[in-house]
Each structure stands twice: as structure tokens, then as C-alpha cells.
Amino acid sequence: MTTPEAVSPLLPADAERRLHPGSWLFVLLQNLRQFIVPLAVLLFAGGRRDDGYPWWLPMLGVGALVVVSIWQYLTFRYRIADDRLIVRSGLLERSVRQIPYSRIHNVAIHQSLLHRLIGVAEVRLESAGGTKPEAEMRVLRLPEALALEQLIRDRGSAPATAAADGAAPPAPAGTTLLALSTIEVVKLGLISNRGMIVVAGAVALSFQVLPERTMGRWLFEGGREAFGYASGFATTWLAKGMVLAAFVAVALALIRAFSVLLALVRYHGFRLQRQGRRLTVERGLLSRSRSSVPRRRIQAWTLRESVLHRLFARRTLEIDTASARAGDGQGNANGQRGLDALAPIAPPDTCDAILRDIAVLPAWPPAEWRPLHPRAWLRLLLGDALLTAVLCGVLAWFFQWWGALGLLWLPWSGFVARRHAARAGYAIDDALVAVREGWWSRHWRLAEIGKLQAVELRQSPLDRGFGMASVWLDTAGAGALAPQLRLRLLPLSDAERLHARLAAAIARRPLRW
């Protein structure tokens, strides 16, 4: 995908335009995916009967979907106005939707393999609220889709006077902030290990879809055959164990290879660009996606660093946006919206440079992180010790003194608590609040104070005993898997002071979307 230089010849103002003539075909394919199960049931049910069952009945359903798809194509129009996009659809039940350019949160352009072969693209226009896009255009010619994205980017950030005159400032040249090579994408696959997630999901699905105990029987028979094969040329238990360990290592290597393959399919050709006030991410091997979001829509930032990240000297930079939903952020037919990762993998210095450039944080990373309460490690250890004691008591009830072996976990818990408390900290100034947590797997979470929506002071019974409290902060668009933005285990006086300071700052500043 490349941004066209000229917009006006492709998108003349005040002229209603249709979608691509082949748009109905893609709408039909989308509808078929939704109704494939009932249509398959009707088709296979008719094929097994000899009593005159109308086998052509499913074809009527397909024909109805064809008519609906062509109907949607014939009744869909859109028009480019000075300050808004006007979308008309429907014939019996008509709809006219007016979408101001300044309210469009994300412009998502998606190309499947079929889209790329025909030279078209699917466009979704998303605002900061709602559960579905403001407009979906299946499909436009690719130059037209890119021209629409550029027009929305230019006019959405243009001053009101310029929009009223029907003129927008020239599009600024895009600045590439990050481009991932194939080697970097391979490293991402090795670090993320998404192959294990897919394999676990496939196994769980097989238990639901296959007949009862089928998957368990396959696993048992496969394990028995592997053990028998190992016993054929390994005579001692040590040799057998080594052979089985080799089998496990090969299986894990295959899962990692699958994870690398998934990363290549998803992130091949990844490019992050800053074009004026908008950020654009383009990626994909077979299906290409291009998503654009204004910088002002970013609500919070997350830096992640696992053990494997540190092994490769890399980090991941993610963002929360006002309309983010769980998913991969491609804005495709699977329901994902928005951007999730600005830098799926990058060196720490590159992630910090992106933060300084986009978030306008010249002092990032902070020069000084404020520590937690001096006894924060003891508070963390005590919580783990209470849970361990309860679990050991339950195990001892069933397994007698063997259950007490779980207490051997306590020294490790103490070590982890000390390391976590030593690394954790927070930084706060007039514009930014940031926290860092974790020891084995680390993360940094930060947000502009103007983007905070609520602040809460929390104390558990253990916190009160230690004279501690935590300050929890809420932002829009936080994902379910995103770490919490919280200042944990602070001295009570510091927590109360920060709570009052942040509450006053939130009350003074208007909400910045």
C-alpha cells in the first residue's frame, strides 16, 4: 500500500459515489461465512435422504444471499463534503449517516489475498465510541481507499476555517518511526510463542467437537507408542527419559516454528509511520492491513519486557485507545478494531524514542523512580505466605505430611518479593504518571494526567496493618489483558497526598480524547 499523491481527481467533492462493482461478491462471501453452518446442515441432511428431500433447498438460501448482496451494493452511496462524509444506504428502510472527519478515530484498510488479487480494499471508519464502525465500505479500489484515508487525515486535523473553505493543508510527508525486517519478525515469533496458544485452543476445541474421550484416547495412544518406541532402543530408565525429553524438545521446537510462521503472516512488512498528527501502521503477509489513528486518541502506553525479550535485547510497546477492543487491531472482519502495538518488537532505545516522539515526553525515561514503602517486600511475602499456608493445609489433609513440602516454596517467594519491591517504582510530574512493576517479566505503564478518568485510594486489611495504601488510576480503552495503572504499596501519607493531587488535577482539566 502506498499513499497517493493526489486526492481530488479520485474523490471529487459533492458527488455521490458507488462502491467497486465487485463489492457485492465480498458482501456475499461475508454473509456466507455467517450462514455456512445452517447451509451445510441443510445440504448434508438432503444428501443422506432417499425420500425425495429437496436437495436444492440450500441453493435457495445461497440465491437469497446473492440477492441481498447485490441489493446492498445498488443502494449504498457515499459523498465527500467539506467537513464530513455522508453515507446513504437502504431502499425500503433508508439511512443517511453523516460522519464529521474530526470525529473519526481510526481509518482501517484491510486487504485479504482475494482483495489484493483484484486490487481493492475494505475500509472501516471508526469513532471513539460504539461497538461497531461508523461506516463500512466493502469494497473500494485501492487508490480510492488510500485517497479517502488521506482526505480524512488532512481534513480531520485541519482548522475549522480551512474546512469551511473546502481546503485542507497539504499532507505532511510521512516519517517512518519503525520498520521490522524479516529477522525481527522471526525474533518476535520466538518471543511471543503464539503457537502454544493456538495449539492449546485447538486441543480445547477438539474436546468439545470430537466424540467423547476421542482426544484423550489419541493422546494416550500416542504417548504409549512414543514410550514403546523409546523402549525399543533404550534399555535403561535414564536412556528412556532422555529419549522422551528429546521428543518433548522436538514438539516444543515445532510449536516455536509455528509461532514464527504466525508472526510472519501477521507482521510481515510492518511499518509504523507518523503523518502529521496521525499514526499509521501497515502489516501482513497474505492479508495486508493498514490502520490509522490520531495521536490524541491514545489514552495510555505499556512497555513489556519478558525474559525472552531481555535475551534478544528487545521490548514491546503497546497503546490503549478510546475505542479499543480485544483483538489484533487489524480492523478486519473478525471484529478487531484500533491499534494495539506500535512496536511489536524493537530495541529499548527505539521504544523510548517512539515514546518521546509521539507522546511528546522529552524526559522519558524518568531520571528518578520513587520507591515503594520500605516494607513493601514483607507485605508481598505475607500475602503469598498466607495463600501458601492454606494450600499446604489442604494438601496435608489429603496427603498427610507430603503436603507440607509446599512450604519449601516460601524461600523462593521471599526472594521474588524482595526483587519485585526493589524494581517497582513510580514517577509523576505535572503532565505524566508512570509506574514500573515486575522482576521476571517487567512492564512500564504510563498515561498523561489529562487522559485520566478516575482516581481511587485502596487499602486492604494487610495494607492497613503495614500503614500502606495504593492509588488506582483509570483510563479509557484499557484492555482486559493490559496491566493496571496503579501506584502500589506506598506509605499512607504519600498515597493520600498523591490521591488528592491527582483528583484535583483531573477535576481541573477537561477530558482529552
How far apart CA 339 and CA 194 sit, in angstroms, is 19
**In this model, does residue 331 exceed pLDDT 50?**
no
Place of cell 436437495: 55
How far apart CA 143 and CA 145 sit, in angstroms, is 5
Q: Provide the CB-side half-sphere exposure for 52 (13 A, CA).
A: 0
What's the confidence (pLDDT) of residue 325?
A: 45
**In this model, does residue 293 exceed pLDDT 90?**
no
Q: Provide the CB-side half-sphere exposure for 74 (13 A, CA).
A: 8
What's the confidence (pLDDT) of residue 20?
A: 92
Identify the weakest region by mean pLDDT among 158-172, 332-346, 407-421, 451-465: 158-172
**In this model, does residue 328 exceed pLDDT 50?**
no
3-state secondary structure of 122: strand
How far apart CA 366 and CA 348 sit, in angstroms, is 14
What is the pTM (predicted TM-score) of this model?
0.80
What's the confidence (pLDDT) of residue 59?
A: 77
What's the confidence (pLDDT) of residue 214?
A: 60
Give ∠ CA 291-295-298 in degrees, rounded to 5. 90
> Which has the closest alpha carbon to 1: 154, 107, 125, 79?
107
How far apart CA 6 and CA 22 sit, in angstroms, is 24
Contacts of 345 (CB under 8 A, 6+ apart): 180, 184, 185, 187, 188, 191, 312, 314, 315, 316
Q: What percent of the chain has pLDDT over 90?
A: 35
**In this model, does residue 171 exceed pLDDT 60?**
no
**In this model, does residue 226 exceed pLDDT 80?**
no
How far apart CA 47 and CA 387 sit, in angstroms, is 59
Chain mean pLDDT for the chain? 81
Distances (CA, A) of 16 to 79, 414, 495: 5, 68, 58
Spell out the domain ranges in the chain: 191-267, 376-420
How far apart CA 110 and CA 282 sit, in angstroms, is 10
User: pLDDT tens digit string along 344-384?
Assistant: 999 999 999 999 988 878 788 898 899 999 999 999 998 88
162 or 106, which is more confident?
A: 106
**In this model, does residue 156 exceed pLDDT 90?**
no
If pLDDT is split at 50, 70 and 90, which confidence band does 336 have?
very low
User: pLDDT tens digit string along 472-491?
Assistant: 999 877 777 788 899 999 99
How far apart CA 297 and CA 472 sit, in angstroms, is 21
**In this model, does residue 317 exceed pLDDT 90?**
yes
Tell me if 52 sits within 8 A of 134, measured CB to CB. no
> Which has the closest alpha carbon to 316: 279, 345, 353?
345
**In this model, does residue 504 exceed pLDDT 60?**
yes
If pLDDT is split at 50, 70 and 90, which confidence band does 337 have?
very low
Amino acid letter at 482?
A
Identify the weakest region by mean pLDDT among 203-217, 249-263, 271-285, 334-348: 203-217
If pLDDT is split at 50, 70 and 90, which confidence band does 61 have?
confident
The mean per-residue pLDDT over the stretch 185-193 comes to: 91
How far the first Cα of the chain sits from its last, in Å, is 29
What are the backbone dihedrals phi and psi of residue 269, each rounded to the nearest 5 degrees, phi first?
A: 70, 25
The mean per-residue pLDDT over the stretch 184-213 comes to: 74
> Which has the closest alpha carbon to 193: 267, 283, 284, 255?
255
Tell me if 149 sits within 8 A of 107, measured CB to CB. yes
> Which has the closest alpha carbon to 383: 426, 413, 420?
413
> Which has the closest alpha carbon to 340: 327, 350, 349, 352?
327
If pLDDT is split at 50, 70 and 90, which confidence band does 324 have?
very low
User: pLDDT tens digit string along 94-127?
Assistant: 889 898 988 888 888 999 999 999 999 999 988 7
If pLDDT is split at 50, 70 and 90, which confidence band does 132 have?
confident
Please give the full DSSP string across 274-332, using - where no structure is assigned. Answer: EETTEEEEEE-SSSEEEEEEEGGGEEEEEEEE-HHHHHTT-EEEEEEETT--SS-S--S
Grid coordinates in use for 504? 484535583
- Counting runs of H as helices and runs of E as strands, what totals does the chain give? 15, 19
How far apart CA 171 and CA 152 sit, in angstroms, is 11
